[in-house]
């Protein structure tokens, strides 16, 4: 079967939606099917995402039949090293792609993800508001000793993925510093592992976020987010913004319904607000724009030594 994909970017961050030719993951919850995908189809993941067909920045979105009949689709997100629990920019991109294909129309659509159901409201052809899973702060003011940086203090929060969020970036949050920020964020991630800091239920903290003052007058904060696999987020990061709202709410610095505008390292923006959750956290809504870039058929020739992508294990 042909492997057909549609590419988009959300505020600069790419998403590749697999619309035909994905693996058969059987039945059951999306979390169980995601586990099957990770265990049995990792070479499909790498063929779609890695060079020479993709890049480290691309996030894949595999469409699946939802187990919840109220959902328009199930979505499993994956990147250059594995699977993601949720992906805010990916949901925005997926909704715009499905609208582009005529599969959904304006208004709210529910999407099943491995970590829960989210709602994407198509405000226009390119603008989507995502009501995310309940987000919360797990740990406040954790101090790490990071190589080359010294002590770094931040909060640990859940926004669909686990984040360490620090308000003291080691370098100015500007695009030209992305290489130095990447190295610093990786040093923080290594310190997290070395010091045994985790999310709830030993959840791996695999996203590092530095934030500080915005450059644009219309924004509240600017961030740099390092994703698992070593690529930085070109968008303001939907799950990271959700985690940030949870921290702001926990500190009494943002009220329900109050608008927060998050700026990315490239200057793109999300608008966000929250309502109270049912488990003591917050239910964030994140709004951003996505644009379809390409419709493609990916080919895997049997004699191509890199049919499964350029993998570290060959």
Catalytic residues: 87, 237
Ramachandran angles phi, psi of 35, nearest 5°: -65, -40
Alpha helices in the chain (DSSP H): 30-40, 42-49, 88-100, 178-194, 238-250
Neighbouring CB atoms inside 10 A of 285's CB total: 20
CB 273 within 8 A of CB 148: no
Spell 119-156 as b/e; 16+ CB within 10 A means b. Answer: bbbbeeebbbbbbbbbbbbbeeebebebeebeebebbb
Dihedral sign computed on CA atoms, order 224, 229, 235, 241: negative
Ramachandran angles phi, psi of 213, nearest 5°: -60, 145
Q: Which residue in the block uniquely carries the two structure tokens 């500190």? A: 251
CA nearest to 290, candidates 92, 58, 60: 92
Give whole-number Cα distances, 147 to 43, 150, 187, in Å.
34, 6, 6
Looking from the CA of 207 toward its CB, the CA atoms found within 13 Å total 33
Q: At what angle do helices 30-40 and 42-49 cross, to 10 degrees?
A: 80
């Amino acid at each position: 079967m042909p492997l057909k994909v549609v590419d988009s970017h959300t505020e600069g961050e790419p998403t590749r939606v697999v619309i035909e030719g994905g693996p058969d993951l059987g039945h059951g919850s999306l979390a169980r099917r995601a586990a099957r995908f990770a265990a049995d189809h990792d070479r499909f993941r790498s063929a779609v995402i890695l060079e020479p067909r993709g890049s480290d920045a691309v996030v894949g979105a595999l469409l699946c039949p939802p187990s919840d009949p109220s959902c328009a689709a199930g979505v499993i997100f994956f990147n250059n090293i594995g699977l993601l629990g949720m992906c805010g920019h990916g949901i925005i991109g997926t909704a715009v792609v499905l609208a582009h294909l005529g599969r959904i129309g304006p208004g709210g659509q529910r999407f099943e993800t491995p970590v829960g159901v989210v709602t994407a409201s198509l405000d226009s052809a390119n603008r989507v508001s995502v009501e995310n899973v309940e987000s919360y702060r797990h740990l406040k003011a954790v101090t790490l000793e990071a190589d080359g940086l010294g002590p770094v203090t931040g909060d640990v929060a859940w926004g669909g993925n686990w984040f360490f969020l620090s308000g003291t970036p080691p370098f100015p949050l500007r695009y030209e510093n992305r290489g130095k920020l990447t190295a610093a964020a990786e040093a923080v991630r290594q310190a997290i592992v070395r010091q045994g800091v985790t999310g709830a239920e030993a959840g791996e903290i695999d996203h590092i976020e530095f934030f500080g003052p915005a450059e644009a007058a219309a924004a509240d904060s600017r961030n740099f987010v390092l994703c698992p696999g070593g690529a930085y987020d070109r968008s303001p990061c939907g799950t990271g913004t959700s985690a940030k709202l949870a921290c702001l709410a926990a500190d009494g610095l943002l009220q329900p319904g109050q608008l927060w505008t998050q700026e990315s390292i490239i200057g793109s923006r999300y608008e966000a607000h929250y309502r109270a959750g049912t488990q003591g956290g917050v239910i964030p809504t994140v709004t951003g724009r996505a644009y379809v870039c390409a419709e493609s058929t990916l080919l895997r020739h049997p004699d191509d030594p890199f049919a499964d992508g350029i993998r570290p294990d060959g």
